Chains A and B, each alone.
Chain A
Amino acid sequence: MNDILTVEKLNKSFGSKKVLKDVSFNVQPGKIVGLVGPNGAGKTTIMKAILGLFDFQSGNILVNGERISIVHHQPLSDVGALIEYPGIYPFLTGRQHLELFADNETTRKEDIQNIITKLNIESYIDRKAKGYSLGMKQKLGIALALLNKPKLVILDEPMNGLDPKATKELRDLILQLTKAGTTFLISSHILSELEKLVDEIVVIDDGKIIKQTSMEALSDSNGNYLVLTTSDDEKARKVFIDEGIKLEQTTEIRIKKTSDDQLASLIQLLSNHGVNIIDVQHEHSDLETSLLDLLDNKQVEE
């Protein structure tokens, strides 16, 4: 097994309340995996368990094949994390936070400067953190998570409080680090943003994993559509119905995409009947739609 992270049948209760129920998923090296689900689904709880922050009733968590528990943290030397909100000492400056946690004795100076430049936080890094805004604290938290060049990075709601420019910079940085081999597990409610990042997605609801799937598979399973505008929509509809092609119940002519050469045959068909195609749009269902569908149907993966 060469997953960087494996979670097997994880069960966790707070008192009598079961919060995680047989949670299993895995993360392969170099991937960006999104962890999504409604509020209170258990995303933060999973991440904390991976970081050995509390006991769980049963199950296994392996990082690089080594078991993690509240009393066994050794494998976490390769992990960086930001959970919920960044922990910040108000009496230290941003740079002092980085100095505090920079692990690698020989490269600490470069590491610190490197992450400051990458996250573009130079302008306020030498001010006391007491006076930081929400987004400034968030960026410092991300800097701390990435500081020691971890192999696995766990980010809980990393875009929280970031402006659009900072969000894009963070996205670019994550993609750049992934190219260099870093693995990410990211939870976020900003699906449009997550969509641009992740290779794989793990969906959790009410403490249970509903689905783990690659992004392509997810959007395929929910379908892509062709939306046609023609010189004579009325006639086109009739032609399609006569040919037994299923149309969606919408005002435009919308056809579920089944294969790549499908469009060619549709054009052929219409021109045979003297109808011209004016415009074709490819419509992909976005992550949000797919996810809402999934949560509505609760089609639990076997």
Chain B
Amino acid sequence: MVTLIRQEIFKLIHKRSTLIGTIALLVLMTIFAIFSKLQPSFSDPKGDFIAAYGGLSWVVFFMIAACSTIIAMEFQYGTVKELLYRKYYRGQILASKWITMFLYSLYFYVLSFIFSIILKLVLFNSKFSLTDLYSNDQSIMHTTLVTYAGNFVGLWLLLSLVLLLANVFKSSAAAISVGIVGYFATSIVSSLLFMLINKWEWVKWNPLNMLNLPTQLSNSTVVGTLTRLSNAELVWGNLIYTAIFLFLGYLIFRKRNV
């Protein structure tokens, strides 16, 4: 199993998109931070820091792209035979890909965090300190960590769906589009969704509602009345849906003819 994860990481490191993703993330965050510095009237330096200068949103796109290709690429290059005939179980092979993607998402989060701190020190050092109070009487640092955690859990709900679809369609294009649509869908249909929830209470358990977790964490009271779920329920809902999607992906992959 360790061997398989090592192999996946080896491939990931040597893919050009990995380096491009990293550089792109840093550049985009820098651009965002500079804009926010130049236009102080439109920006909220503390809020920008908490959102990693847009980094947390960009990471969603990079991770959707990475997850949709990690399985589809093996079919595309014909390497799936090489991979599957060896002595390992299919479940192990799939799990090694999940774990690699998990580590990759952690890498992006840590990178966003460290680079946010650098940007803050360079551009906004005089404006605020990380121990200042932000919303809900919590320090900026604390709010940042909660925001990261909430986004991370929500990200993985989306990624588990992308991994499932990439597996069903054997193609990355379909998975990428669904992932990105899914990402925007929450904000687009959420008002409609909240209306439905108002009418039929049980609709609150659907996966789209779960994607409201990060918003609710930063703004518990307001959104909580709309999602009708507590923070804990949302977190569990996310985790359970993630597990279900991953498991469905496993069921398909286990018996796939190649």
Contact = CB atoms under 8 A, between A and B. Distances in A.
Contacts of B11: 89, 92, 100
B85 interface: yes
Given A55-B255, A55-B257, A99-B10, A71 B90 contact: yes
Interface string B1-18: 001000100110011100
5 contacts: A52-B85, A53-B81, A55-B257, A88-B78, A101-B7
Nearest to B11: A89
Interface of A: 14, 48, 51-55, 70-71, 73-77, 79, 81, 83-92, 96, 99-101, 103, 144
B86 A77 contact: yes
Nearest to A75: B87
A156 to B, nearest CB: 10
Interface string B62-88: 000000000001100111111111111
Contacts of A74: 87
Nearest to B87: A77
B222 interface: no
Contact of A87 (B10, B14, B16, B81): B81
A102 to B, nearest CB: 10
B236 interface: no
B88 A91 contact: no
A76 to B, nearest CB: 5
A85 B73 CA distance: 16
Given A55-B257, A100-B7, A76 B81 contact: no
A73 B89 contact: yes
A202 to B, nearest CB: 20
Nearest to A74: B87
Contact of B85 (A81, A84, A99): A81
B258 interface: yes
A71 B254 contact: yes
